[in-house]
Structure 1
Amino acid sequence: MSTVEITVLPVGQGTGTLIQRFEGVSDKPLSTVLVDLGSALWKPQQTGFESAKFVEGQLRKMENPTLNAVFLSHGDVDHTNLITSLLKKFSPPCANKAATDTLTVRNVYHGGRHGEYRAKNRSNCLDELDNYRSNGVNSIVSPPFGPSTGDLVVPIYQDAATKIYIIAGNVIASTTRVGANSIFGLKPIKKHYASNTTSLVLLVALTENPDNQQHFVLTGDTTAFGLAHCNDKLALSPLPPSPVATVTLPHHGSKATTYDLLGAQSNDPGDLAEENIRAFVARLRPQSLAVSAGEVTPYKHPAARAIKDFGAFLRLSDFDDSTLRGAGQHFFTSYFQRNELEVWHKEPDKWPATAGWKTVQTDMAVYTTDYFKGDPATTEALVVNPSSGQVKPPPPPSPPPYDRETPRCCGWTFQVRDGKCKVLKVLDLKFLSSAGVRRPESRHGPLLLQRFVSLPSAPSGEPPPPTPPSPADIAAAPGRRPPSEPASGRSTRLRPLI
């Protein structure tokens, strides 16, 4: 029986996802797929550098280190700039070095144009990958540009337990339907937004157990136009059956590009963009969200609004953080606008008093690589005062048993065995912040749990989920809440900390 692990790496402001297949209890991967590897924090002792070291270590466990496939969503440096440094840790096949020091890259797929992968004063990472190809150069595949991109019939990659499909890639706004009130994109979009719109959106299907398949959607940096294209494709396909296990939040949880169909300049969600998001979420019904982002101004990733809207069907988390006293509870960090949270006591109150990145506790299945931004050495788990709306520290536990640790950043592994998915926290980076600042390791006792709060409401008027083309393929979802019940109908049980 195979085990497949999908690991969202804690690269900071960037993206990297490692997919590995193991046999039995062995820790040696039988196959390895890499989806992006880049970070704004690429220097030694920063989060991106540590994540690249982790990928190298996993490859070195193989007798013949091999990347069976590399998917690069698009050419932005925070998705690609760690690729070359990873390759340089190994020799290419043509060097005739020892097998354990040689890396073979079998398949490469990318969104965007070849020239977009040349970083300033650096080589083109697609050319570097070509040097490690077993089939020779000039054999890298990119989907065509235009309305035909994306194919949910034939997987572009597969092995004994995994099939990968391209839902969307190289989307052109002028040929994409954006909703019932507008047939096509209304005007050409700005250059950087257009680059993100070319991003690959992948469906990863784990199919070894035909009675309980698990599906994951990796959205890269896709924009509202990319989501609109996905909706067109998903409406015509029985794949994936909903609910899916996990969706990665588009563009690191960007509010600007996800809610804007005409460019990335407006922060005001548009009606058409909200319609796209509702349709995308209703079709997939993701049971959990994974978010890769760092605290880099002015991006403000991930936006709490995006987590709420994409998390309408979240299940309760099965991951327990040992630093918390409650079952199924953990932290996540997001950018909150001023007064964005509603705190319920005898009457509603607002939090936070100022906008910024805040850490909250939750029992819902949302997992951010930017994990805990506080200083647990002082056990200052800040909570909302429901009467004044101010934030103050609760009293520390007495006596404080300082015997626990909380990482600043961490990766998340979705481990699937026999059709069952388990969430694991990996790569605890206790010394590093997602902004690349070193901080001392800290130890602390159990962190207190206090007021319940809820995120702002999802967009109103949510349409009923579309009828899947093949109802027989729709599998029942594991979890403690039926997938048909949206999470927006009750409190998401968040507690503000810092």
Structure 2
Amino acid sequence: MKRMTFRVLDVGQGSGNFVQVVDDAGDPLCSVLVDLGSTQNRDEAGVPSVKQVLTLLAKRPLIDLIVLSHSDEDHVNLVLDILEAPDIPPKSITVERTCYTGEWDWYLKRGRNVLEAIQEHTRDERPPEAFLEADHNDFTGGDEAEPFLVVEDLKIWLVMANATSALTGLRGKRPNGYKVNTNSAIVMLEFHGAQFMVTGDATGGTLFEVNKVIDTGDSYRNFQNIRMLTVPHHGSLTTLVNVAGTNTRDDKDKGKARANVKKFVESTDPDSITVSAGRRVDWKHPDNETLKFFWPAVGGVPLWDGIPEVDERHFYTAYFWQHADLAGGADEKWPVGPSGFYSVLTRYNIYTTFYVDGPAQHVRFPNAGTSHGALGVVLPPSGSPFLTLPQQVLAQPLGVAWTYTVQVKGGIEETTLVPEVNRPAYLRMVAALGGVPEGWPDPAALGDAPTVALPSRSVGDVVPVPRRVVPAPRREAPTRRRPLPRLVALP
């Protein structure tokens, strides 16, 4: 029976998503790459992810579709490493089709044009296809909407490209960064009803146009089962609450921009979110204020068991502007730190590739005292408890890749989630613990595996979240359907 794997790759600061449909034996039937680039932790994260993708392509060295959401370096530069890897013969990877936004010349990276390299590896050297139409999308037909590509039961939909608010000045010389980001292609991949939306570096302006698409006729019927959504622009708050392309401080305009984001979250209602980003103090992303927009949607059944020693929670790392999230009392304050990045615990379906920040994972709160050991903060929601972190929990990786698997059994769609770390990171975790804990893979038995599943209860023991594959019912105007549960402080 076919199944789909969707990998949100750990590339450091950047983005990469690799999707495959495989058969019962695990042999690939089709492969899709949506962005692949890195501008920070390239050697530690980006290069191992390239090796992982090449390993997955070894049996079938064909990429059926490459989508480049936009031309930013941290979304495209590793594509060259895939196509021109020194340890494989030239032109051994073949590309069937490529789509991109922006101008051809914008893809010149490291003295090599990424689009030209792709064309050299494409059948008959067919040139990549540019999304050129304003507000280009596949959903204007409502119930008659058709994906722009279907391969091995995998449907690929174009949700938005060239959002209208980005078109001014796009032709000719390179426009500013906001316009390039707003121009991002948003694609949705669907396998037997399970949907995964990749948003590139979309801005508030992009989401404004997406909201209009979803609101048109019965188009909302096409967005009923979004299992995962990548948070736009690495979780940036600045561009998310920005519709006009200017950083206005007008409260009225900011209010409209925030309402625009809330409407997008209500309309898409994702079961989980992922954020691919690195630790950049100047950019401040992923921003926890951005992630809070999604809290009402992602508080359902956890897709991953989490860590048993902290009550099946997992970490995520984000930038925190203020201490307002800690509402438990005067003694519960964030420690003073130079960066503003903190690693927190949650059961919510919030999954960041920047998993545990090294300087933040051994945080001691001023009132804790050394006898209490390291303390972890549980978010969301606000006013949550502190937990004392056992020693084995402190051995966590800086970066994690998140791998979703979708399969259908007896008419039931099951989606599971497993975090993966690259091999060097796993070896560092084992070394930090002074040995291999029970249930963890023996490093000597890893063979040539480039990645290792991050253990929870036991390796690969994840809780499937079933959903019967049936036609989506008509729904009323989007509403907040899941209340935020309160976490009870542990004794």
Please give the TM-score of this superposition, normalised by the length of structure 2. 0.76
> Which of 93, 108, 115 is the aligned partner of 1:103?
93
> Which of 395, 416, 440 is the aligned partner of 2:406?
416
> Which of 23, 47, 51 is the aligned partner of 1:53?
51
For the residues of structure 2 that align with 1:129 and 1:19, how far apart are their CA atoms? 18
TM superposition shift of 1:383: 5.7
Is residue 364–residue 374 contact of structure 2 (8 Å, CA) maintained in 1? Answer: no
> Which of 365, 369, 394 is the aligned partner of 2:372?
394
TM superposition shift of 1:421: 0.6
Is 1:247 the equivalent of 2:239? no
TM superposition shift of 1:154: 1.8
> Which of 267, 273, 296 is the aligned partner of 1:312?
296
Cα gap change, 1:344 to 1:444, in 2 (>3 Å): farther
For the residues of structure 1 that align with 2:100 and 2:488, how far apart are their CA atoms? 39
For the residues of structure 1 that align with 2:309 and 2:183, how far apart are their CA atoms? 41
TM superposition shift of 1:170: 1.6
TM superposition shift of 1:492: 6.8
Identity percentage over the alignment?
A: 26
Q: Secondary structure at the match of 2:211?
A: helix
Partner of 1:154: 146
Partner of 2:111: 122
Matches within 5 A, 1:52-91: 52-60=50-58, 62=59, 64-89=60-85, 90-91=88-89
Is 1:9 the equivalent of 2:9? yes
> Which of 190, 199, 204 is the aligned partner of 1:219?
199
For the residues of structure 2 that align with 1:494 and 1:247, how far apart are their CA atoms? 30
Deviation track 1:252-300 (CA, whole Å, cap 9, x = no partner) reads 0001110112326458881221121111111111111100000013111
Cα gap change, 1:276 to 1:201, in 2 (>3 Å): same
TM superposition shift of 1:413: 0.6
Cα gap change, 1:259 to 1:396, in 2 (>3 Å): closer
Partner of 1:196: 181
TM superposition shift of 1:43: 4.6
- Which amino acid letter does the alignment assign opposite residue 36 of structure 1? D
TM superposition shift of 1:190: 6.6
Is residue 323–residue 405 contact of structure 1 (8 Å, CA) maintained in 2? Answer: no
RMSD: 3.5
Partner of 2:132: 144
Structure showing greater relative contact order (alpha-carbon pairs closer than 8 Å, 6 or more residues apart): 1
TM superposition shift of 1:56: 1.0
TM superposition shift of 1:232: 1.1
Please, which runs of 5 or more residues in structure 2 have no aligned partner?
Answer: 140-144, 169-173, 376-387, 438-469
Cα gap change, 1:91 to 1:170, in 2 (>3 Å): farther
Partner of 1:295: 279
Please, which runs of 5 or more residues in structure 1 have no aligned partner?
Answer: 94-101, 177-188, 208-212, 433-437, 447-470, 477-482
For the residues of structure 1 that align with 2:393 and 2:242, how far apart are their CA atoms? 46
For the residues of structure 2 that align with 1:217 and 1:494, how far apart are their CA atoms? 34
Cα gap change, 1:260 to 1:403, in 2 (>3 Å): closer
Cα gap change, 1:28 to 1:484, in 2 (>3 Å): same
TM superposition shift of 1:218: 0.6
Is residue 4–residue 161 contact of structure 1 (8 Å, CA) maintained in 2? Answer: no
Deviation track 1:331-364 (CA, whole Å, cap 9, x = no partner) reads 100011131422326x895535456110001011
> Which of 345, 360, 367 is the aligned partner of 2:351?
367
Q: Secondary structure at the match of 1:337?
A: coil
Is 1:272 the equivalent of 2:261? no
Is 1:324 the equivalent of 2:309? yes
TM superposition shift of 1:401: 7.0
Is 1:235 the equivalent of 2:215? yes
Partner of 2:334: 351
Q: Secondary structure at the match of 1:259?
A: coil
Is residue 364–residue 493 contact of structure 1 (8 Å, CA) maintained in 2? Answer: no
Q: Secondary structure at the match of 1:262?
A: coil
Is residue 286–residue 311 contact of structure 1 (8 Å, CA) maintained in 2? Answer: no
- Which amino acid letter does the alignment assign opposite residue 30 of structure 2? S
Is residue 314–residue 345 contact of structure 2 (8 Å, CA) maintained in 1? Answer: yes
Cα gap change, 1:2 to 1:493, in 2 (>3 Å): farther
Cα gap change, 1:426 to 1:330, in 2 (>3 Å): same
For the residues of structure 2 that align with 1:331 and 1:12, how far apart are their CA atoms? 17
Cα gap change, 1:137 to 1:160, in 2 (>3 Å): closer
For the residues of structure 2 that align with 1:92 and 1:85, how far apart are their CA atoms? 12
Is residue 339–residue 352 contact of structure 1 (8 Å, CA) maintained in 2? Answer: no
For the residues of structure 1 that align with 2:421 and 2:396, how far apart are their CA atoms? 12
Cα gap change, 1:72 to 1:84, in 2 (>3 Å): same
Deviation track 1:286-328 (CA, whole Å, cap 9, x = no partner) reads 111100000013111100011110232112323133463413x
Is residue 341–residue 350 contact of structure 1 (8 Å, CA) maintained in 2? Answer: no
